[in-house]
Amino acid sequence: MEVRFVEVAGAATRYYHAGEGGRRLLLVHGFGMCADAWTRCIDGFADDFEVFAPDLPGHGFSDWVDFADGVAPQRHLADHLGRFADALGIDRCDVVGSSLGGILAALLYRARPRRIGKLVLVGIDTPVSDSGAVDPEIVRAAMANGTRAMRAASWESCRERLANICHDRGKAPSDIALIQASIYARPGVIDAYRRIGEGMIATVDSPDVRMRPEEIAAPTLLLCGSDDPRASLDLIRANHDRIAGSEIAAFDRCGHLPHIEHADAFVRTVGAFLRK
């Protein structure tokens, strides 16, 4: 597993890379997270796939890329992922997205369906709903949790943030918390976080980001924790019923971060789906 940077639309974008040859796999992290959220899984996937896990703009160690007022941040971030793939010559890939990353995975599929193989949407009950692209209350809760950690970035504050969305608070990863503390202390990070969150709320009904379940024709796995505080298992089941041929997996004793809380089971479950 290597750390690399690539310039995307003039912005330095950090990403993890592992594996050579074979199918390409793009891992997309959630709001306020970073590519390090995938480090427990990357090497496991690299046995069968060439893996790319980028930091989104304004996240991790990637540069911020400004976007126009009134444009839904999800659309902007999904477009950036497409340009990231282009910059690395990724013509076709499977996509695994966690939380906001799941929204971006679905939007990336809508923008370039012939270039996306399979989708794995983790801990997300939107954008595949008729009511809008995000639940504003969920975004506000996520922003409050993240902003508390960012205001006084420390190992303790960042571990608390992660613990708040895990089923077992003891599984909040200390190593990722330490990396997040360094990231959150960077100039401009909290402003980028707020702008993305407030932009998602302001554009909740934008046609750019609304998407019905029936629009997804790619083989899709909906994966979640049974105790996820950020996504409704009932809504995820309803989406499963409406996405033709989709599969669903719910991990017991798991919160919002199954790829961290149950990394080995996550790699087995997702890997088996992708290899079918």
What pLDDT, on the 0 to 100 scale, is given for residue 201? 82
Please measure the distance between the N-terminal and C-terminal CA atoms of the chain and give it in whole angstroms. 25
**Segment 113-126, tens digit of pLDDT:** 999 999 999 998 87
In a domain, 168, yes or no: no
In a domain, 156, yes or no: no
What pLDDT, on the 0 to 100 scale, is given for residue 190? 86
Tokens of 172: 């909040």
- Angle made by CA atoms 103, 105, 110, in degrees to the nearest 5: 95
In a domain, 194, yes or no: no
CATH number of the domain to which 26 belongs: 3.40.50.1820
CA 68 to chain CA centroid, Å, is 22
In a domain, 189, yes or no: no
DSSP letters spanning 61-122: TSPP----TTS-HHHHHHHHHHHHHHHTT--SEEEEEETHHHHHHHHHHHH-GGGEEEEEEE
In a domain, 60, yes or no: yes
In a domain, 190, yes or no: no
What pLDDT, on the 0 to 100 scale, is given for residue 132? 46
**Segment 202-239, tens digit of pLDDT:** 887 788 787 888 899 999 999 999 999 988 899 899 99
Specify the amino acid at residue 3.
V
What pLDDT, on the 0 to 100 scale, is given for residue 259? 97
Does the predicted model carry a pTM greater than 0.75? yes
- Regions of the chain where pLDDT drops below 70: 69, 127-134
d(CA 247, CA 124): 14
Which range marks the domain in which residue 64 is found? Answer: 2-133+207-275
In a domain, 181, yes or no: no
Among 225, 219, 220, smallest CA distance to 265 is for: 225
Q: Which residues contact 272 (CB under 8 A, 6 or more apart)?
A: none
In a domain, 232, yes or no: yes
Q: Count the domains in the chain.
A: 1
CB atoms within 10 A of CB 231: 23
**Helix and strand tally (H, E) in the chain?**
10, 8
- 109, 216 in Cβ contact below 8 A? yes
What pLDDT, on the 0 to 100 scale, is given for residue 131? 43
